[in-house]
Chain A
């Protein structure tokens, strides 16, 4: 975080942040995340970097300008970084853009989708049809446990519901009760998930 009389800069290295910007045209707020950066214009927005360095920007209110530094701009020159930019994209309320994905397309979200996307701020994760693979990846970000799906078919199962961040026991019991998914802890940090029907049977003898 670097605040000066000229501007406010927040650098996001990993994870996700949500900002409600106090509007000040003489002192704009910029978020630098990976190679693009976002410059807020009186707005509320979230920025997220995933493991593959894709940057997602979601605007809850107002507008956000996204740009890329001009070639040759030194990373350390943050003032120049936020003034000299190319490939500007302007996204507005209820819009989301995924950067570094090859095609920067702007997507318009329904209010319920925005609420789900930002539910982490209140300690909940909301799922509305995401695959189990995506679900366990998201849940894993909020726990100290890594979930590994052993059955390929399970990865595509579509999940809805609410996960209270940190509630690993509730998560596993919900998978067990509603998806017939069994689990096995291999150590304190890894849980294997597989279809209960694929459980090895010991009662053969």
Chain B
């Protein structure tokens, strides 16, 4: 079912309409699958890299968003809570591995991972970002005070993941025109 607010007329900026479990979901996925298959030879000819980089960026948008951070130098657990609050994301970590360390001050506009790197630089805490963008903060067993940052392994891994998600159709774009303007509807799979 398409959910459109009836509080005000539909505006041209309302390009996102979330819906799930509808015929539009299936239609949208088919549309994307067909578009992708049709577009693939062109990609191969004119540069697959540009497409895949774009898909990678989209799939990790939440991790590469540039946000404004203002976190005071503080105990690492408290600083990480402030980070999670400002990054607007769930982040749980070990209290025992963090409360006896001091994090750095971070102020300014940074990507999420970049801010985390700066925050924990030199604390001996290891940062990783999983394939789904989840952040991991753990103490290094053989820490020498340097912070280890592990990002997703390679661009090839990202490309593979992005292509997989595109083919599976975890998100799809559908369009419908109602005569007053064009609405793009983004279909999202329901929560597991």
Residues on A lying within 8 angstroms of B by beta carbon are 112, 124, 126-129, 135, 157-164, 167-171, 173-179, 185
Determine the chain A residues whose CB is within 8 A of the CB of B90 once the complex forms: 161-164, 167, 170-171, 174
CB pair B130 A162 closer than 8 Å: no
Given the known inter-chain contacts A169-B191, A174-B91, please indicate yes or no for A161 contacting B84, CB distance below 8 A: yes
Do residues B78 and A161 form an inter-chain contact, with CB atoms below 8 A?
Answer: no
Q: Which residue of A lies closest to B128 (CB)?
A: A177
CB-based contact A176/B134 at 8 Å: yes
Query: Is B46 interfacial (CB-CB < 8 Å)?
Result: no
Enumerate chain A residues within 8 angstroms of B92, measured Cβ to Cβ.
127, 135, 159-163, 171, 174-175, 178-179
Q: How many residues of B contact A (CB 8 A)?
A: 27
Given A167-B90, A177-B135, check contact A160 B77 (CB 8 Å): yes
Does B107 sit at the interface, judged by CB under 8 A?
no
B84 contacts across to A, CB distance below 8 A:
161-162
Contacts of B128 in A (CB 8 A): 177
- Could you tell me the distance in whole angstroms from the C-beta of B188 to the nearest C-beta in chain A? 12
* Complex-state Cα separation, A173 to B128, whole angstroms: 13
> Which segment, of B21-29, B94-102, B152-160, faces chain A?
B94-102
Shortest C-beta distance, B21 to chain A (Å), equals 15
Q: Which residue of B lies closest to A124 (CB)?
A: B85
CB < 8 Å: which of B99, B132, B138 contacts A129? B99
Chain B residues within 8 Å of A129, by CB: 77, 95, 99
17 A-B residue pairs with CB within 8 Å = A126-B81, A128-B78, A160-B93, A160-B99, A161-B80, A161-B92, A162-B85, A162-B92, A167-B90, A170-B134, A171-B90, A173-B134, A176-B134, A177-B130, A178-B94, A178-B137, A178-B138
Chain A contacts for B191, CB-based, 8 A: 168-169
Contact B192 A160 (CB under 8 A): no
Q: How far is the CA of A111 from the CA of B92 in the complex (A)?
A: 21
CB distance A112 to B96 under 8 Å? no
Q: In the complex, given contacts A112-B78, A160-B94, what are 6 additional A-B residue pairs having Cβ atoms less than 8 angstroms apart?
A: A159-B95, A164-B90, A169-B191, A170-B89, A170-B91, A178-B136
**Cβ–Cβ < 8 Å partners of A185 in chain B:** 192
B142 interface residue (CB < 8 Å to A): no
Asked if B176 is at the interface (CB within 8 A of a chain A CB), the reply is: no
A128 and B94 alpha carbons, distance in the complex (Å): 10
Asked if residues A164 and B88 are in contact (CB atoms below 8 Å), the reply is yes
**When chains A and B are docked, how far (Å) is the Cα of A135 from the Cα of B93?**
12
Residues in chain B near residue A179, CB distance under 8 A: 92, 94
Interface core residue of A127, A162, A174 (most chain B CB under 10 Å): A162
Give Cα A163 to B92, complex, Å: 7
Q: What are the nearest 7 A-B pairs in CB distance?
A: A170-B90, A161-B92, A162-B84, A177-B136, A158-B95, A160-B95, A173-B134
| A119, closest chain B residue (CB) | B85
Q: Which residues of A contact B89 (CB under 8 A)?
A: 162, 164, 170
Residues of A within 8 A of B192 (CB): 169, 185
- Cα A124 to Cα B89 in complex, Å, equals 9
A128 close to B77 (CB less than 8 A): yes
**Nearest chain B CB to A205's CB is how many angstroms away?**
28
Q: Do the beta carbons of A158 and B132 come within 8 Å of each other? A: no
Q: A169-B192, A174-B134, A176-B134 are in contact. Are A158 and B81 (CB under 8 A)?
A: no
Is the CB–CB distance between A160 and B136 below 8 Å? Answer: no
